[in-house]
Amino acid sequence: MASGFSPSCGAAYPDSRLTAPHFLMLSTVVVSRFFRLGRSRDHLINLVGDFAKKGIIFKALDLGIDFSTPAGKMVIGIFASLAEYDREMILEKTKAGQLLAKAKGKHIGRPGGVNEGNFLKVKRGFEKGLSVSEIVSLTGISISSVKRYRKQLNNSILR
């Protein structure tokens, strides 16, 4: 049994102590609460699958299930099915919400087009010979927006 195995260990969180090479040293992993082992149900199911591939016995004390038995494998299958169902329901609700918002005329995502006021400020700044950093400090417009506007100005000059 791995002492100190908890959600903060490397199996659940890659930046911690217990990582994949340590699995070779383990024969049994016991957790007090099944859902505390992984970050999500999918992650948990993947972990238990990795344990099984490596011949590591996994036991959850709160469920009283040994996942090396046929009944334990069935429970994991049920959890996997529930996780997939949950994912599909979330996707379905998200798509329905987006369609509803679109039907109501709401814009989803990044605002389209150019902020004309900011574009004119940047254009005047470049016409006066200011650098990108000077325009940013004088106007408070982000450096990425100033560079994007500069690119648009250069493209319009070339046409």
The encoded tokens of residue 95 equal 């798509």
CA–CA dist 151, 159 (Å, integer)? 13
**Which of 70, 74, 8 lies closest to 38 in space, CA to CA?**
8
Note the Cα 152 to chain centre separation in Å: 33
- Would you say residue 132 lies in a domain? yes
3-state SS record for 4-65: CCCCCCCCCCCCCCCCHHHHCCCCEEEECCHHHCCCCHHHHHHHHHHHHHCCCEEEECCCCE
Question: For the chain, how many structural domains are there in total?
Answer: 2
- Would you say residue 121 lies in a domain? yes
Of 105 and 42, the one with more pLDDT: 105
Strands 65-66 and 57-60: antiparallel
| CATH classification of the domain holding 86 | 3.40.50.1390
Q: What pLDDT score was predicted for residue 159?
A: 58
- Give yes or no: residues 75 and 153 share one domain: no
Q: What is the DSSP letter of 106?
A: -
Instruction: Encode pLDDT of 69-108 as tens digits.
Output: 788 778 877 876 776 788 889 999 999 999 999 899 888 8
- Give yes or no: residues 11 and 76 share one domain: yes
Domain housing 149: 116-158
- Would you say residue 50 lies in a domain? yes
- Would you say residue 17 lies in a domain? yes
